[in-house]
Each structure stands twice: as structure tokens, then as C-alpha cells.
């Protein structure tokens, strides 16, 4: 072992991983050799070696910890998904009842919850889109946080972000005053999101009221 390690160190023939393994193993072999020398020729039994027993216990502890961590991660992901499904249903129920307005604040996971609305009632989804776009434009609820807001822009479809850009541009051009309901903005964004973004940029570049 010592000769092999010396060769690995000096020649560079061994790979870095092999060299590190040899570096780690050599002290243990030296310890076992010293243990045998002190026991007057007795055979080595790892089950009676307290160091080896402790090392085996540590390996088992780490394996249990890794298994527990994996199970905890799976449980957390399962709970997160179930919570997202409940939130999606709540938003749809509010939309169907026409109670999804500015009094309902956006939560941090809502932009990702939106993906669970695919295939649902188109009319209700359009209301959720409009609610989300207005919250983006107003930076309300969790969207006041810049990191959450940036993640929302990435997660939401272009029609929602284009709608938000248009609402923001309209608010800036009217000194921040917007009516509660602007159905034409959502209709434009749904029909032509890129054109809606161009309109929003044009409004933003146009001087507003003094």
C-alpha cells in the first residue's frame, strides 16, 4: 500500500480519485497493522475492533439519514402539490362566483399554480388570468417581493404578462388611476400578446399627463 501510494504521488500515473482513496486508506491499514503488532499475532476481527464498529455504525447512520431525508423531500413535494391543487380549485371557485378581485391577494406559489388550471373552464381561467395580470401590474400581495415577481414573469404565459404590461402602461399614462375592470386589455393580450406588448411599450414611451 505504501509503495503503491508513493508511486501514485510521484509518477502521476494514478488518477486524482485513486490517489485520494489511497491517501484515505493508508492510515487505516497502518492502524490495523499496529493493532496486530500489539496483540501478539492474534487474527484481526473487525467485529471486535471498536474503530471499525464505530465506522460501520456511522455508515448505517448516514444511510438512515439519507433515506429519511429522501422520504421527507418526497412528503414535502407531495404536500406542496396537494396544496397547489387546493389553491387552484379555490381560485376557480372564486372566479366562477365572480369574487376574484383585488381583495384576494396573490400568494407566492400562485404563478406556478396557474399551470394546474389548464383544461378547466375557459371563462374562469380568463378571470384568473386577469386577476393575476392586475396583481403583477400593481405589485400586490406576494408580488411585492422582487424575487417572487421575477419568478412570476418566468412562470406565467405571455398573454398574462402582456396583459400586465399593458395595465401598467395604462396606469402610468393616466397618473395611476385605472378602473377595476378593463376587459379589452385581457382580450387584446389573449388575441395578440406580442402586439399588446408593443402597445404597452409605446404607451410607456409616450409622455403622460403633467
Please write the tens of the pLDDT for every residue from 91-109: 999 999 989 988 899 999 9
Would you state the torsion angle of the CA atoms of residues 123, 127, 133, 135, taken in this order, to the nearest 10 degrees?
Answer: -170
- CA angle (44 as vertex; 62, 64 as ends), nearest 5: 10
Residue 155 pLDDT exceeds 60: yes
Question: Hey, CA dihedral for 98, 101, 104, 110, is it positive or negative?
Answer: positive
Percent of the chain with pLDDT over 70: 87
Q: Is residue 74 part of a domain?
A: no
Terminal-to-terminal C-alpha distance of the chain: 84
Residue whose grid cell is 485513486? 18
Which residues form the domain of 92?
A: 82-205
Q: Is residue 67 part of a domain?
A: no
Is the model's pTM score more than 0.85?
no
As a whole number, mean pLDDT of residues 10-18 equals 65
pLDDT per residue as tens digits for the range 142-154: 999 999 999 999 9
The alpha-carbon radius of gyration of the chain (Å, integer) is 32
Q: Is residue 61 part of a domain?
A: no
Q: Which residues contact 93 (CB under 8 A, 6 or more apart)?
A: none
pLDDT per residue as tens digits for the range 179-198: 666 788 999 999 999 999 99
Residues 33 and 102 in one domain: no
What is the rounded average pLDDT for all residues in the chain?
85
pLDDT per residue as tens digits for the range 74-94: 999 999 999 999 999 999 999
Number of folded domains that form the chain: 2
Q: Residue 192: its pLDDT value, please?
A: 95
At 122, list the grid cell. Answer: 375557459
Q: Is residue 119 part of a domain?
A: yes
Residues 148 and 196 in one domain: yes
Q: Residue 83: its pLDDT value, please?
A: 93
Amino acid at each position: 500500500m505504501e509503495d503503491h501510494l508513493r508511486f501514485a504521488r510521484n509518477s502521476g500515473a494514478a488518477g486524482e480519485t485513486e490517489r485520494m482513496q489511497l491517501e484515505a486508506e493508508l492510515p487505516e491499514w497502518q492502524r490495523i497493522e499496529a493493532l496486530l503488532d500489539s496483540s501478539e499475532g492474534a487474527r484481526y476481527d473487525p467485529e471486535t475492533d471498536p474503530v471499525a464498529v464505530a465506522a460501520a455504525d456511522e455508515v448505517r447512520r448516514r444511510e438512515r439519514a439519507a433515506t429519511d431525508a429522501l422520504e421527507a423531500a418526497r412528503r414535502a413535494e407531495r404536500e406542496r402539490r396537494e396544496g397547489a391543487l387546493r389553491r387552484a380549485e379555490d381560485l376557480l371557485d372564486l372566479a366562477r362566483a365572480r369574487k376574484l378581485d383585488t381583495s384576494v391577494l396573490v400568494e407566492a406559489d400562485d404563478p406556478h399554480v396557474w399551470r394546474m388550471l389548464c383544461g378547466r373552464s375557459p371563462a374562469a381561467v380568463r378571470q384568473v388570468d386577469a386577476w393575476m395580470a392586475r396583481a403583477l401590474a400593481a405589485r400586490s400581495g406576494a408580488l411585492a417581493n422582487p424575487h417572487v415577481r421575477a419568478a412570476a414573469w418566468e412562470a406565467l404565459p405571455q398573454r398574462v404578462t402582456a396583459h400586465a404590461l399593458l395595465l401598467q402602461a395604462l396606469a402610468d399614462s393616466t397618473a395611476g388611476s385605472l378602473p377595476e375592470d378593463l376587459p379589452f386589455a385581457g382580450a387584446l393580450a389573449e388575441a395578440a400578446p406580442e402586439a399588446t406588448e408593443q402597445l404597452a411599450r409605446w404607451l410607456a414611451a409616450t409622455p403622460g399627463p403633467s
